[in-house]
Chain A
Amino acid sequence: MTAVHQFVPALLPRDATGDHTRALRDAFRSAGWESDIYVEAAHDELQDEATYFEEYPARARPGDVLLYQLGTSSPVAEFLLGRAEPLVLDYHNVTPESFYEGWEEHTVAKVALARRQVAALAPKAVLGIADSAFNARELEELGCPATTVLPILVDLHVDADRVDGHERVRLAADHGASTVLLFVGRISPNKAHQRLVEALWIYRRIYDPGARLHVVGPAVTPAYADAVFAFADELGLADAVRHGEHLTEAQLAAWYEDADVFVCLSEHEGFCIPLLEAMQAGTPIVALDAGAVGETLADAGILLPTARPATVAAAVARIRGDTALARRLADAGRRRLADFAAPTTRQRFVDVLAGVADAERGVA
């Protein structure tokens, strides 16, 4: 029987990598395969679904294929380097340490270690699966012998009930008819939140003095988050910048629907799931063409060659002043979203891993 076991540093609920890993396990089991998840740590809610990675050797069987969900540093990487089973990497990208230099030294060390682990694992893997061609190029440059691009599995089913109506009403009452810019993502230097604040400041100065910026995401780099919000205060935007944390799925959906424009000025993204969430909500997108953003977005938004705040503000104003454009972008987003439909992606993962397992067994 085919067995594809996954390894992931941390299995967390309501987390993109965690959801992806569990969805893949279900897909592999549906295909009649054995499939378990091995972790360094698991959230309390998911303890029953995970096994400590050092217990794998006792359970290993000939013909096993190991799939590593790689996005951060972990002892799991060192463990897998010592295993003889065929290894497939599912690479979600590691942010270069240069983004954290001067902000958080321990994160610099952590991501530097992660990138060293990617470099060590890439040549050993029989196949590298990447969320984007951008990520695949990184794996190839590190010596991965073969790569393929498969998007991360995201649950993007459309369901009106999943939007928190009360939250939606509360947000609308708060800002009235003013323009709302939204960004969703960790508050981290590579996401360039300060550029969003700059764009808001210019936008208010020229187009709409009441405009707001909503940012949603955990402040994973506290020094950077503090600097961003202090910067906003200094510019007189304390009341215009709102930070959403610990939102439920339904509340987050309300924030997406409430926004006039989703603005992403990240300087480094390996895929950018929030773009898909904005497409699902029908929120027009303005994004900087950096990392994998261009290929994820395709023609479903305005792709900017620069994050200069005047250009960003003008792009937002262009959408706000042209309902036909906003509608075209929303329609394009929904079309683009179909390319990431979970059933299709799940089957492609199964096909790719079946190919690896067959090759290892010598099946033609």
Chain B
Amino acid sequence: MSPDVPAPDGGPDADATSDVADRIRYLDEVMAEIDAEVRRRRASGDLPAGLEQELDELFLEFSPVGLQGRARLRETLSLVDGSAYVDIAVPTASNKAVGSYVKRAIRKGLGWYMNFVVAQIVKFAWSVSRMFHVVVDHIEDLEATVEANRSPDLPSGLVPATPTGSTWWAPAAVDALVGVSDRVVVGDCGDGSLVEALTAAGVDAYGIDPSDIALEPALDRGADVRAEPVLGHLAVVSDEALGGIVLTGSVQWLRPNERVRLLDLASTRLVVDGILVLHSSSPAAWAATASPVVRDLAPGQPLHPETWAHLLRSRGFTVTATIFGGDDRRLARVGTGAADAAEVNAAIDAINDLLLGPTEYLVVATRER
């Protein structure tokens, strides 16, 4: 190849080369300023993370390639049906008068041959099309079965709110994250108390919460918080962009597939040696205190700390601490002077251990690889 298109002002003299270099340097500086402007807008909340992805997804709704599920299957199937017909009426138009007669004569002369071949092609195409119809019908039956077994969504008004104000576990979370140099995100941050505690401790922290209402106090105080769900936010954060992640609130009742997605995202968005702090109710406390409707309709339920530890280890984390806390609902033991005190206290201990143990826990883990 000989690239004959000249380079911009591609003269060989040194002055021209210098001019080109200056212009390229200037454009590089402009591009750097544009990048900085975008970063600044993102940090200020003018460009919430996920906004551009939402725009892309919205456009897909207008696109035949973006049709989802049943509509996409049926749309594609109609394309197969439309292509299954082969037209043997070859166009005979021509820009030469004689050309049209010649083409018509050829079409007529070859008609018997084309009919025979095309009939077999069409038969094959319709067989393939029929097979696709059977497959799609079967898929729709399966979808109907799945739908019949699906629980209704938990009404948004019943979703348990993130506790506001200081919590028993906030100091432990701050202790775990002090000294982290990269940014730390607090998921389901509620009124932003933990974000502010972390900031006060010198941590570069910001908060996200799906509820605008929950965030209002934090926004009023000027805290760095945004209205976004945890999964949506982590999905658009770059790999190894975070030094710490705090998870609470909705992490307790995620669907199993969402939980897997969350762990996968957390393990890639954290830097190596990044810290994950996870707060949850215990399953027993959830069963004892959550409303019956929430317990029945929540997509998932809290896990035992041992289960979180297992899941985290499977993704390259090392669990460095498990701390129990929350309401102390344990029954007091009776005095040793009471009648049958030993038997009664043994029963109280058993009840405390089985039903009334610590209501919440905190798991702290470090990404090792």
Residues of A within 8 A of B (CB): 41-42, 52, 101-103, 105, 132-133, 136-137, 140, 147-151, 194, 197-198, 201-202, 205-206, 223, 226-228, 230-231, 234-235, 295, 298-300, 302-304, 308-311, 314-315, 317-318, 325, 328, 332, 335-336, 339-340, 348
Contact = CB atoms under 8 A, between A and B. Distances in A.
Contacts of B201: none
28 contacts: A52-B96, A102-B64, A102-B65, A105-B82, A133-B5, A137-B1, A147-B2, A148-B4, A151-B5, A197-B59, A198-B55, A202-B51, A202-B52, A206-B46, A299-B8, A299-B24, A300-B8, A302-B27, A302-B30, A302-B34, A303-B27, A303-B31, A304-B31, A314-B37, A317-B37, A318-B33, A318-B37, A348-B4
Contacts of B83: 105
Interface in B40-63: 41-42, 46-47, 51-52, 55-56, 58-59, 62-63
Given A299-B23, A302-B34, A328-B26, A227 B62 contact: yes
A39 to B, nearest CB: 9
B73 interface: no
Contacts of B3: 133, 136, 149
Interface string B1-42: 111111111100000000010011011001101110110011
Contacts of B9: 335
B5 A198 contact: no
A311 B38 contact: yes
Interface class of chain A by DSSP = helix
Contacts of A348: 4
Contacts of A317: 37
Contacts of A197: 59
Nearest to B10: A339
Contacts of B62: 226-228, 230-231, 234
A41 B91 CA distance: 15
B118 interface: no
A201 B59 CA distance: 13
Contact of B59 (A52, A105, A198, A311): A198
A298 B8 contact: yes
Interface residues of B, number: 41
A304 B30 CA distance: 11
A113 to B, nearest CB: 15
Contact of B30 (A198, A206, A311, A318): A318
Given A206-B47, A325-B30, A149 B64 contact: no
B336 interface: no
A231 B23 CA distance: 38
A339 B26 contact: no
User: In the complex, which of the residues A198, A201, A303, A314 has the most CB atoms of chain B within 10 Å of its own CB atom?
Assistant: A314
Contacts of B55: 198, 201, 235, 309
A310 B42 contact: yes
Interface string B178-207: 000000000000000000000000000000
Given A234-B62, A314-B34, A132 B5 contact: yes
A298 B8 CA distance: 6
B64 A223 contact: yes
B331 interface: no
B172 interface: no
A239 to B, nearest CB: 18
A103 B67 CA distance: 12
Contacts of A302: 27, 30-31, 34
A219 B319 CA distance: 58
A332 B96 CA distance: 50
Nearest to B64: A102
Interface in B282-299: none
B41 A149 contact: no
Contacts of A105: 79, 82-83
A197 B52 CA distance: 12
A223 B75 CA distance: 13
A335 B41 contact: no
A312 to B, nearest CB: 9
A37 to B, nearest CB: 14
Nearest to A296: B5
Given A198-B52, A299-B20, A299-B27, A310 B2 contact: no
Interface string B270-309: 0000000000000000000000000000000000000000
Contacts of B82: 105
B63 A227 contact: yes
Contacts of A151: 5
Contacts of B42: 310
Given A105-B79, A231-B58, A314 B5 contact: no
Given A206-B41, A295-B5, A332-B23, A318 B34 contact: yes
Contacts of A339: 5-6, 8, 10
A10 to B, nearest CB: 12
A235 B83 CA distance: 35
Contacts of A103: 63-65
Nearest to B9: A335
B52 A309 contact: yes
B4 A150 contact: yes
Contact of A310 (B10, B31, B38): B38
Given A102-B64, A198-B52, A318-B34, A149 B8 contact: no
A112 B33 CA distance: 42
B1 A149 contact: yes
A102 B71 CA distance: 13
Given A102-B65, A223-B64, A231 B59 contact: yes
Given A309-B52, A335-B9, 4 more contacts: A140-B1, A147-B1, A206-B47, A310-B51
A77 B202 CA distance: 70
Closest 9 CB pairs of A and B: A102-B65, A298-B8, A227-B62, A314-B37, A198-B55, A194-B59, A147-B1, A314-B34, A149-B3
B102 to A, nearest CB: 11
Contacts of B151: none
Contacts of A102: 63-65
Given A149-B1, A206-B46, A314 B30 contact: no
A310 B47 contact: yes
Contacts of B56: 198
B314 interface: no
B352 to A, nearest CB: 55
Given A206-B47, A227-B62, A299-B27, A311 B34 contact: yes
B350 to A, nearest CB: 60
B149 interface: no
Contacts of B8: 298-300, 332, 335-336, 339
